[in-house]
Amino acid sequence: MTKAQFDIIIVGGGLVGVSLALALRQQGLAIAMVEAVPPRVAQQPGFDARTLALSWTSHQVLSALGLWAEIAPHVTPMEHIHVSDKGHFGFTRLHARDYHVPALGYVIEIQRLGKLLYETLEQTDVTRFCPATLEQANRDGNTWELTIRGESGPMTLTTGLLIGADGAQSPLRQQLQLTTREKDYQQSAIVTTVSTSLAHDNTAFERFTPKGPIALLPMTHDRQALIWTLDNGDFAPLMALSDELFLQQVQQSFGYRRGKFLRVGKRMSYPLKFIHCEEQVREGFVLLGNAAHTLHPVAAQGFNLCLRDIAELAEVVVNAKLAGNDFASLATLDTYQARVNQYQSKTIKITDSIVKYFSDDPYLLTKTRNAGLVLLDTLPMLKRRFVKRTMGTAGNLPKLCRGLEL
C-alpha cells in the first residue's frame, strides 16, 4: 500500500478546508487535503446554491491571502443594512459611509466562491486527494496514520497535525469521541434568488416577520438572495407552493420596501441545527469550521467565524514554526484555542439570542425587540458595537483579519 507523509493533513475540502490550505500555502509546509466529493459536481456540499454575506473582516482575510482580486468581480457590496420588525415601528439602518469603509460586507454565491478558491488551490503545491474519503485515523506516538480510500483504492497517509474540517456531522469528531452541545431549532431555511421592481441599491434587509426572519441580500445582475427561516410546520407548505403563490407569500410577509416581487429561482431548503464542540484541539489535532461550530444563519456569521478561526490558527502555526517550536504540540494548539474561545462564545451567544428574540412572538418579546431596535438606532455607542460585530472587527484581530500577510 502507498504511504505518503505530510506536515499537515486537512480532512474536508469545503470552504473551510480549502481556505485553511490557502492560508498556509507558501509557508514551507507539506500540506495535503482529503475531500470526498469532487469540486465540480452538484453534490459538493460546500459549494451549493447558498449565497454568503461575507463580513468586512472576511474581505480583509481574503485580501491578505491574495485572493480578493479574483473574487471582487463576483461580489456585491452591502453599503446599507436595514433591520426591521414587520408590522411594528422599530427599525435600524446601518450605512458603510458612517464607518468610513466602502462596504459593511460583501455578498457572493457560495458556488462561485468555492470554485474560485478551489481553482487557486489547484495552482499551489498542496496535494489534493479528491475524491477520497477518510476511513480511519489512528495516533501512534506523535504521528497520525490515516487510511483514505480514493478511486484507485486505499492509501495510508501520515502527519503530525491533523485538521478536521469535515462538516457538521464530522466523522472525525465522532471517531475521536469529542462531545458536542446540540440544539435542533425545529426550523428550516428556504434559500432562493428573487428579483423585485425596485433596484436593490446595495442594501441588505433583515426583516423579522411573524412567520420568521427574511433576509434579502443584494446580488450581481440586480438579483437578490432570499433566505427565509421558518418553523418546520410552516416550511413544508411554502416549499410546496407554485412560484407564483410563493412570491405572493413573500410579498405579504416582507411588504413593499423593495417594490413588487417579480421572479423567483429554484428553492432549496436547509434544516437548521446548532452544534458546538468545546474541545476543539488535542495534541496534533484541530477541529475547524462547521465541525467545530454550526450556527443558525440568521446573523450570517457561520463562515465569517470560520475565517476568523483560520486566521488565528494560521498565525499560531506559522509563529510556532518560525520560533522553531512544534506547531502540532498541545501547548501551541492550546494557544489557538485560548485565542478563539471568547470570540466564538460571543458570536454563538448573539446568534442564539437573535433566534430567540425574533422567532418567539409573545407580546412581551415583541415589545422588547422593538424597544431594542429603537435603542439600537438612536444610541450611537450601542450601534457602533453592533456594527463591529456585523463587520467582524470586534476584539483583538489576528494579522490576516487586519488585511496583513502572515
Binding residues for ligand FAD, rule: CB under 6 A, are 11-17, 34-37, 45-46, 50, 52-53, 133-134, 165-167, 171, 189, 191, 227, 270, 289-290, 297, 300-304, 306
Nearer to ligand FAD, 124 or 175 (CB): 175
Pairing of strands 180-196, 203-209: unpaired
Closest CA to 22 of 103, 145, 128: 128
DSSP secondary structure string for all residues of 120-139: HHHTSS-EEE-SEEEEEEEE
Q: How far is the CB of 324 from ligand FAD (least distance, A)?
A: 31
Nearer to ligand FAD, 46 or 218 (CB): 46
Over the range 239-276, which residues count as b (16 or more CB within 10 Å of their CB) and which as e?
A: eeeeeeebbebbbebbeeebeebeebeebebbebbbbb
Q: How far is the CB of 258 from ligand FAD (least distance, A)?
A: 18
Nearer to ligand FAD, 165 or 250 (CB): 165
Nearer to ligand FAD, 90 or 166 (CB): 166
Q: How far is the CB of 26 from ligand FAD (least distance, A)?
A: 21
Output Rg (C-alpha) for the chain, integer angstroms. 21
Nearer to ligand FAD, 148 or 333 (CB): 148
Nearer to ligand FAD, 47 or 261 (CB): 47
Q: How far is the CB of 200 from ligand FAD (least distance, A)?
A: 16
> Strand locations in 12-142, DSSP E?
31-34, 51-55, 76-78, 80-85, 91-95, 105-109, 127-129, 132-140
How is residue 134 written as a grid cell? 477518510
Q: How far is the CB of 163 from ligand FAD (least distance, A)?
A: 11
Q: How far is the CB of 51 from ligand FAD (least distance, A)?
A: 7
Q: Which residue is nearest to ligand FAD (CB)?
A: 14
Q: Cα 220 vs. chain centroid, distance in angstroms?
A: 20
